[in-house]
């Protein structure tokens, strides 16, 4: 049966999507390609398997392959799966709290509502992943690539995204409160109405980003680049902008700059002034 499916273009994906197995020529409403825990460990993963709702808490398997697998609402809390392959996998509402996933590949994965609180995702690839409404609070994403990802309504409170790439990402209403964002790249990202209160974003790149309505209360943007950003209705309350470059930034209202500071190296749009940082 498996060899027949391999000869049919997209057949395996179709079976997985509609949740059926083709067995002995009949149709049965059962998960497709399910595997036992022993099989998963022995084979080093389970690509294209249906593992939804499975109890896999604490699974230890480095360099595992779960590409295109269905892991929807699966319990993988505290799993150790560093350097693993989750490309195009279905991880919607999957429980991955405190999991070790550093160096893993989640490219184009479906991860809406995933719970990755306090997980280690350092140096991982999440390009074009769907992370809407994801719980990424206190998650380590340092050095990861989330270019083109969809993070709308995601929560990254107290997360570490230093050096991470968010180029062209959709990030409306994302919550980065108290996060470490040093050297991160948000160029051309959509951060409308995002919360960056008390964020540490020294040296971060926001060039061309939409920061309309963003909250930057007590945020540190020392040395950050905000060239050609949209800042309409943004709130800069006690924001540190020493050495920051806001050349070409538009929409910034003096009425919404309250106690923000800069220095002689700060570059500001015409008509905008800041008090000196002390």
Domain ranges of the chain: 1-32
Taking the CA atoms of 132, 59, 104 and 137 in sequence, report the sign of the dihedral they define.
Answer: positive
Tell me how crowded residue 43 is: count the other CB atoms within 10 A of its CB: 14
Q: What is the pLDDT of residue 209?
A: 98
Pairing of strands 236-237, 257-258: parallel
Residue 155, strand partner residues = 135, 175
Residues in the chain where the model's pLDDT stays below 50: 1-9, 11-33
Check: CB of residue 23 under 8 Å from CB of residue 31.
no
Q: What is the pLDDT of residue 105?
A: 98
Q: What is the pLDDT of residue 36?
A: 87
Rg over CA atoms, the chain: 22
With 0.85 as the threshold, say if the pTM is over it: yes
Q: How far apart are CA 145 and CA 172, in angstroms?
A: 18
Check: CB of residue 161 under 8 Å from CB of residue 139.
no
Check: CB of residue 174 under 8 Å from CB of residue 196.
no
The mean pLDDT of the chain is: 91
């Amino acid at each position: 049966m498996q060899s027949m499916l391999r000869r049919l273009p997209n057949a395996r994906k179709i079976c997985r999507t509609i949740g059926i197995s083709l067995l002995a020529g009949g149709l049965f409403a059962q998960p497709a390609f399910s595997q036992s825990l022993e099989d998963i460990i022995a084979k080093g993963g389970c690509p294209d398997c249906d593992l939804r709702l499975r109890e896999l808490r604490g699974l230890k398997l480095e360099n595992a392959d779960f590409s295109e697998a269905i892991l929807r609402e699966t319990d993988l809390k505290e799993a150790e799966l560093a350097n693993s392959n989750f490309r195009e996998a279905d991880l919607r509402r999957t429980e991955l709290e405190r999991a070790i996933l550093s160096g893993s590949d989640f490219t184009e994965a479906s991860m809406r509502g995933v719970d990755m609180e306090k997980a280690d995702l350092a140096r991982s690839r999440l390009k074009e992943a769907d992370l809407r409404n994801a719980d990424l609070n206190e998650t380590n994403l340092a050095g990861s690539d989330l270019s083109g990802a969809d993070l709308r309504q995601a929560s990254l409170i107290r997360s570490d995204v230093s050096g991470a790439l968010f180029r062209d990402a959709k990030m409306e209403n994302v919550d980065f409160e108290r996060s470490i964002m040093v050297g991160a790249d948000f160029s051309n990202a959509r951060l409308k109405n995002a919360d960056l209160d008390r964020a540490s974003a020294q040296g971060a790149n926001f060039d061309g980003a939409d920061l309309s309505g963003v909250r930057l209360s007590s945020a540190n943007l020392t040395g950050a680049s905000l060239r050609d950003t949209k800042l309409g209705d943004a709130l800069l309350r006690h924001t540190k902008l020493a050495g920051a470059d806001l050349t070409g930034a538009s929409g910034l209202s003096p009425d919404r700059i309250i106690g923000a500071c800069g220095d002689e190296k700060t570059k500001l749009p015409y008509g905008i002034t800041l008090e000196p940082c002390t």
